[in-house]
Structure 1
Amino acid sequence: MDMGTWYVLSMVAYALALVWSGWSFAQARPSSPRIGYGLFVAAFALVTAVFLARLASLRGAADYSRGDLALFIAWLMITVTVAMGRGGASSPVALLLNAVGFGLALLAGGLQAQSSAPFLPASSLLALHVALAVLGDTAFAFSFSFALMHLVLEERLRRRLFDRWYLHLPSLATLDSLALFASATGAGLLFLAMVTGLWWGDRVLHQWLLTWPKFMVTAFCLMLYVSYLVWRMRRRVATRAMMVFQVICFVVVLSNLLFVGGRLP
């Protein structure tokens, strides 16, 4: 595999590790510390491989670019996280460090195009865009499922039907937390997918795809989920209307995937 493919894999692993860190921090007790720490170790190994391969490909100090500096700082941040151990990987320090580190690693992918020896071809940038979009849509699918469970359980409680649905579903508070976290994760990943898609359009088509129908509908989907997040954070308590709105948001996302044409201008 070329360096661009390794970079895409490292960003996907880094994104998953960052999502786990945020979810673990939001819980009263960290969940699955071994799995979460394993994600950070995998991301560290991949980012290290990309960074070392990048250094080996440079012919001299003159080839060192701002993108390489951003990648180096991101590598340092994830290295510190791994050195902190399993307990530290779920701390707020690790969450903030890696939020900045992940942003710098993505920025490195964009800045390296200005280098005299770029390491991320357009095909790999498109693959990164697709991977982030798939992860974002997957998170939205989970939030949709949790919203449906919330509606079903709320209806059971309202009608006092203490059947198997009531016995086996998590509590309303748990479902609300899961739906909120999945929506926030999906919105963040979708935003990153849109940014990488714009970068790809600028590099390959030499134009920003801001007026492309697919981009405009995707931006509308993002606005819907951001509206839900703002609504939920201001009310502090989930309502039936919020869960119905979650379902509507996912229907719009699904319509964007199935019916909005992806033909480039």
Structure 2
Amino acid sequence: MVLEVAFMFKALKIALDDLEEFYHRLITPEAKVNRNQLLFPYYNNVRIEETIYKLTYVTKLEGRNIFQATMNIDTESSRDVVVKFTKRYSEDCHRACYHLRISPELLACEKLSGGWYVVVMEFLKNHTTLFSLAQKNLLALTMWPSIEDAVRKMHRTGFVHGDLRLPNIMWALDGSIKIIDFDWAGKDSQVTYPPLLNRESNIPWHDGVRFGVNITTKHDWHLLTTQFCNALGVKEFVRLHV
């Protein structure tokens, strides 16, 4: 009996030695970490319908929590996108505007933990914000009819924007207009202005604008036309059209 137990322990030791040698020969794969991505948000996969696409961040864009990224379509192709993180967003208004071809394509709008939303949309390569054009003295009065038409189309769907400043409208050489930044957007006279509204800056808000007040088309037109006129140094021409 003692001899049998001794043989059993001997066999067990041989087996353990063999296992130890086997695992020492294994090469532990190093985790592939793209150090460049450590500077960007953790969110790197987006679900569109039933497919999950990988996001690779490229750079941070102007504004809070907005990034340019590439979305891998397959192993050979990718698409440039904008990824935005926000506490509030009107998916319905954005999709309505895209249907009218006056906004970039909305690819995904997903609610995250902590009350945040992540928005993934088309990256507009050929468009420039009206603010950027104004900074370069390239904003022109001839652009106004296209701008006015785009805003009227949005309003006819029953939506208001709430933040129609020059940085949130984009223009291309072909004359096409794209409205962006639908954080405050919603149904006319139903959606309200958020808290912490910046009233101290030089933004020409309508006198009735404040936290909790319903956003109206009148507010949209006042903000847009005032900024547009100020950028061009005119006061009356644009306002005759709204």
Please state which band the TM-score falls in when normalised by the shorter chain: under 0.3
With CA pairs under 8 Å and 6+ residues apart, which has the higher RCO, 1 or 2? 1
Structure 1 or 2: larger strand share? 2
Give TM-score scaled by structure 1 length. Answer: 0.24
Q: Report the structure number with the largest CA radius of gyration.
A: 2
